[in-house]
Amino acid sequence: MFDRAERGVQAAIDAGATYADARAVLDRTETIEVQNQHLDTLDVDESIGVGVRALVGSSWGFAATSDLSDSGLAECGRKAAQIAAASALVSGPPLVLGDVPVVDTFWETPHIENPFDVSTTEKIDMLVDVTRTMQSVEGVGIAYATVEGWDTNKWFVSSHGHRIHQHLVEAGGYYSAAAIGERETQIRSYPQSFGQYESGGYETIRKWDYPAHAQRIAEEAVALLSAPEMEERETSLVLESSQLALQIHESVGHAIELDRILGWEAAFAGTSHLQLERLGSHRYGSELMNVTADATIQGALGTFGFDDEGSPASCVDIVKDGIWVGTLSGRDSAAVAGLPSGGMVRGDGYSKIPMVRMTNVGLLPGEGSLDDIIADTEDGVYMSTNRSWSIDDRRLNFQFGCEIGYEIKNGELGRMVKNPTYTGITPQFWGSLDRLAGEEEWTHWGIPNCGKGQPVQTAHTGHSASPGRFANVRVGVKG
């Protein structure tokens, strides 16, 4: 496939592009969904094509095609350059690209069982069993379970000379029980409500032992219907690690994207409360807060060998001892900002233009355990598993809802509460981080559907976290 991508690049250069690159991508996805012991979806999707990116002046032009003939690829490359040139009517300063090493190489996700090699019947049987267990609990209306597998081959070439073939293997899934009341619905999910997705083969699904937790999850969903509402107040908030991972994603991961900081995403995704001139001095959170963007973590969903500009995967400090020190960037945005290129640019399939995306933006662990944190909390609440999330366009004001909450009194978990929510302002919230559990409970959570850009594209991102505690948080916000 290298030769096909190269045809597109050459056509773009011949048509006047100062730089061009191309990705030939073959994506395969298998999605299985079971609801109430009934196979709801068995979907096998395949996407094959080439996307060519061409730079002319201040604008990228991008064209994509699934026509892999010589003429189709030449037309695609020409179109990318022509589209870029058409932008001259509303142009800005010429874009400069930061340097990255030119390599000719192959990289593959370490994995044991390719999810496509595991029989469909085995997967369906497991999901049916899980939903049967959940349905056996009286009061469960909908028992849902799903697994997905992705197998992606990418061939990247550039007019600078890159030739990189990557084979990415990813898998994941989840299940949920919905208890439907007179005027409300209560849901519990496992391992988490977006699913847990990781780099690797089907072994990443097996390790979560889906059947072992189905009964508990169903019983909790039903119990929530009769649980009291969480009281609205300010108190200590202890977050389970998958919820803390989403908190990192929304209030740190997006805020540190350099294209947002530069205003390139202002109209849709939004901008950022961060200002470049305060990089290195802005206090993001308490001294317990250490965040990295690490695309090299084995097993995490945001892991790869090279990004879609040919930059090698790297680990970059983002927040160190509470101070903001790094951004997520690509060759163009980093050059504009005068920063080293971060190698965090990816596109969704062959048909979407690559842009700055999170890799594995994670909070480094602290010490002790969740049990230690609860034992150390005189009065507070514990929340687990995201149910809703909302944050403003500068990534400052957020409100999250979780599936389940518990009161904490005198160092012990108390009664279950339903509809737990909390709200806050990013720097104050992270400034109130006062406990963080250790490496034993540090989990590489994966988010498979991070949306950004126009047309909207989704990315697979990772967020490592252990449970943490935040002081004086407003909880129990009501409608």
| 3-state SS assignment for residue 437 | coil
**Shortest approach of other proteins to residue 392 CB, angstroms?**
5
Nearer to other proteins, 87 or 314 (CB): 87
Q: How far apart are CA 81 and CA 16, in angstroms?
A: 6
Range 66-97 burial, b when 16+ CB lie within 10 A, else e = eebeeebbbbbbbbbbbbbbeeeeeeeeebeb
Smallest CA-to-CA distance from 340 within 97, 160, 95, 98 is with 98
**Shortest approach of other proteins to residue 268 CB, angstroms?**
7
Determine whether 16 is exposed, middle or buried from the number of CB atoms within 10 Å of its CB (0-12, 13-18, 19+).
middle
**Which range in 53-61, 221-229, 291-299, 320-328 contacts other proteins by CB under 8 A?**
53-61
Q: Which residues contact 365 (CB under 8 A, 6 or more apart)?
A: 436, 437, 438, 439, 441, 442, 466
Q: What pairs with residue 400 in β-bridges?
A: 389, 422
Range 205-217 burial, b when 16+ CB lie within 10 A, else e = beeeebeebbeeb
**Shortest approach of other proteins to residue 146 CB, angstroms?**
11
Q: Is 478 in the site for other proteins (CB under 8 A)?
A: yes
User: Residues 446 to 465: which contact other proteins by CB under 8 A?
Assistant: 454-455
Q: How far apart are CA 459 and CA 31, in angstroms?
A: 17
Q: Is 47 in the site for other proteins (CB under 8 A)?
A: yes
Q: Which residues contact 456 (CB under 8 A, 6 or more apart)?
A: none
Continuous segment of H or E residues that includes residue 54: strand 38-56
Q: Is 150 in the site for other proteins (CB under 8 A)?
A: no
User: Residues 162 to 201: which contact other proteins by CB under 8 A?
Assistant: 178, 180, 183-185
Q: How far apart are CA 37 and CA 214, in angstroms?
A: 13
Nearer to other proteins, 67 or 379 (CB): 67
Phi, psi of 441 (to 5 degrees): -110, 15
Q: Is 296 in the site for other proteins (CB under 8 A)?
A: no
Nearer to other proteins, 345 or 364 (CB): 345
User: Residues 75 to 114: which contact other proteins by CB under 8 A?
Assistant: 76, 79, 82-84, 86-87, 89-92
Nearer to other proteins, 125 or 321 (CB): 125
Phi, psi of 280 (to 5 degrees): 100, -10
Q: Is 41 in the site for other proteins (CB under 8 A)?
A: yes
Candidate list 60, 155, 175, 306; residue touching other proteins; CB under 8 A? 60
Q: Is 22 in the site for other proteins (CB under 8 A)?
A: no
**Which range in 209-217, 319-327, 388-396, 438-446 contacts other proteins by CB under 8 A?**
388-396
CB 22 within 8 A of CB 3: no
User: Residues 331 to 370: which contact other proteins by CB under 8 A?
Assistant: 351-353, 355
Q: Is 46 in the site for other proteins (CB under 8 A)?
A: yes
Handedness of CA 395, 398, 403, 409 (dihedral sign): positive
Nearer to other proteins, 40 or 372 (CB): 40
Candidate list 423, 434, 438, 471; residue touching other proteins; CB under 8 A? 423
Residues composing the chain: 479
Nearer to other proteins, 63 or 169 (CB): 63
Q: How far apart are CA 15 and CA 258, in angstroms?
A: 30
301: tokens are 């969903």
Residue in the block written with tokens 């470049």: 276
Nearer to other proteins, 297 or 402 (CB): 402
Range 396-424 burial, b when 16+ CB lie within 10 A, else e = bebebbbbbbbbbeeeeeeebbbbbbbbb
Q: Is 476 in the site for other proteins (CB under 8 A)?
A: no
Nearer to other proteins, 65 or 158 (CB): 65
Q: Is 142 in the site for other proteins (CB under 8 A)?
A: yes
| 3-state SS assignment for residue 447 | strand
Nearer to other proteins, 226 or 388 (CB): 388
Q: How far apart are CA 240 and CA 245, in angstroms?
A: 9
Nearer to other proteins, 123 or 444 (CB): 123
Q: How far apart are CA 241 and CA 255, in angstroms?
A: 20
Candidate list 96, 102, 112, 266; residue touching other proteins; CB under 8 A? 266
Q: Is 42 in the site for other proteins (CB under 8 A)?
A: yes
**Shortest approach of other proteins to residue 37 CB, angstroms?**
10
Candidate list 16, 141, 312, 340; residue touching other proteins; CB under 8 A? 141
Nearer to other proteins, 96 or 266 (CB): 266
Q: Is 382 in the site for other proteins (CB under 8 A)?
A: no
Q: Is 286 in the site for other proteins (CB under 8 A)?
A: no
Phi, psi of 260 (to 5 degrees): -65, -45
CB 344 within 8 A of CB 359: yes
Residue in the block written with tokens 């507070």: 380
Nearer to other proteins, 92 or 101 (CB): 92
Q: Is 267 in the site for other proteins (CB under 8 A)?
A: yes
**Shortest approach of other proteins to residue 76 CB, angstroms?**
8
Nearer to other proteins, 141 or 411 (CB): 141
**Which range in 52-60, 100-108, 190-198, 316-324 contacts other proteins by CB under 8 A?**
52-60
Q: Is 430 in the site for other proteins (CB under 8 A)?
A: no
